[in-house]
């Protein structure tokens, strides 16, 4: 399992009610189900990934987070997880608002466009950065709204979104990934 998932799993509490938005093939959900809380479900857009979740015996709702989060009532989950998907939404601001509405806490991870490798790539090669966390070319990337850790912090500050970072060590220059616990 990806190291990122262990780090996210550490942030959720025992037997809490969790929604994994864009849960992919269910790897993180399975780990959390087996080790931390059985009260977890996911939303996933891709049919093949939905089938993989089903095969793992996970509760999955096939759907599109941009449209389908609005059906959940306010504060209906203890944690809502969004792993490296925010940048791919058409309207990430709306998705973030929904995450903070339906979750008491939102755990959001973003690929950091401010990482030194990314900066170096653009500086030296003069082409759009392609790295482990950003493996696509400019013409086929699903990432519409790339940002840096600093951008994201500024965004939250402007909107009075509380960033709870006590378990996390991340830096705009040295972290490939930013993982945040957010509260409204």
Partner 1 sequence: MNKFKDIKKIIVEKPLKLDCGQTINNYPLAYETYGKLNGDRSNAIMIFHALTGDQFASGINPITKKDGWWNYALGPGKAIDTDKYFVIASNVIGGCMGSFGPSDINPDTKKPYGTNFPVITINDMVNAQYNLLDYFKIEKLFSVIGGSMGGMQVLQFVSNFPNKALTAIPIACTASHSAQNIALNELGRQSIMADRNWQDGFYEEQNKQPDKGLAVARMAAHITYLSKAGLQEKFGRKLQERDDLKFSFDADFQIESYLRYQGSVFVDRFDANSYLYITRAMDYFDLTKKFGGNLSKAFEKSDTKFFIISFTSDWLYPTSENRDIVIALNAIGKNVGFVEISSDKGHDSFLLDVPDFLNTVKYFLNTSYKQIQ
- φ/ψ of 113, rounded to 5, equals -80, -5
In whole angstroms, what is the distance from residue 148 CA to residue 171 CA?
10
- 8 A C-beta contact, residue 65 and residue 43: yes
- Distance separating alpha carbons of residues 60 and 177, to the nearest angstrom: 26
64 lies in the binding site for partner 1 (CB under 8 A):
no
Q: Are 88 and 144 in contact (CB under 8 A)?
A: yes
- Binding window for partner 1 (CB under 8 A); candidates: 7-15, 43-51, 105-113, 152-160: 43-51
Q: Is 154 in the site for partner 1 (CB under 8 A)?
A: no
Shortest CB 108 distance to partner 1, Å: 21
What distance in Å separates the CA atoms of residue 123 and residue 3, rounded to the nearest whole number? 28
Q: How far is the CB of 154 from partner 1 (least distance, A)?
A: 33
Given 73, 126, 135, 142, the residue binding partner 1 (CB under 8 A): 73
Angstrom distance (rounded) from CA 59 to CA 47? 14
- In angstroms, what is the minimal distance from the CB of 30 to partner 1? 11
At closest approach, how far in Å is the CB of 62 from partner 1? Answer: 5
- The span of 4-12, 61-69, 130-138, 144-152 binding partner 1 (CB under 8 A) equals 61-69
Cβ closest to partner 1, residue 54 vs residue 123:
54
Is residue 95 at the binding interface for partner 1, with CB under 8 A as the rule?
A: no
Q: Whole-angstrom Cα distance, residue 63 to residue 43?
A: 6
C-alpha separations of 70 from 63, 101, 117 in Å: 12, 9, 37
* Residue 1 found at the interface with partner 1 (CB under 8 A): no
Residue 74 sits in the site that holds partner 1 (CB under 8 A)? no
Nearest-CA neighbor of 96 among 88, 106, 84? Answer: 106
Would you count residue 62 as binding partner 1 (CB under 8 A)?
A: yes
Give contact residues for partner 1 (rule: CB under 8 A).
38, 41, 47, 50-51, 54-63, 71-73, 76
């Amino acid at each position: 399992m990806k190291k990122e998932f262990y780090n996210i799993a550490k942030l959720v509490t025992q037997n809490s009610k969790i929604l994994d938005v864009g849960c992919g093939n269910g790897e993180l959900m399975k780990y959390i189900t087996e080790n931390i809380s059985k009260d977890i479900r996911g939303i996933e857009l891709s049919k093949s990934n939905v089938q993989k979740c089903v095969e793992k015996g996970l509760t999955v709702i096939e759907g599109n987070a941009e449209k389908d989060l609005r059906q959940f009532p306010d504060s209906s989950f203890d944690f809502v997880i969004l792993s490296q998907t925010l940048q791919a939404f058409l309207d990430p601001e709306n998705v973030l608002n929904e995450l903070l509405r339906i979750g008491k806490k939102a755990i959001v991870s973003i690929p950091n466009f401010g990482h030194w490798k990314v900066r170096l790539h653009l500086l030296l090669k003069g082409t759009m950065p392609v790295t482990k966390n950003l493996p696509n070319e400019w013409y086929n990337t699903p990432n519409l709204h790339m940002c840096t850790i600093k951008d994201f912090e500024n965004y939250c500050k402007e909107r009075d979104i509380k960033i709870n970072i006590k378990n996390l060590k991340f830096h705009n220059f040295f972290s490939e990934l930013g993982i945040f616990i957010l509260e409204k």
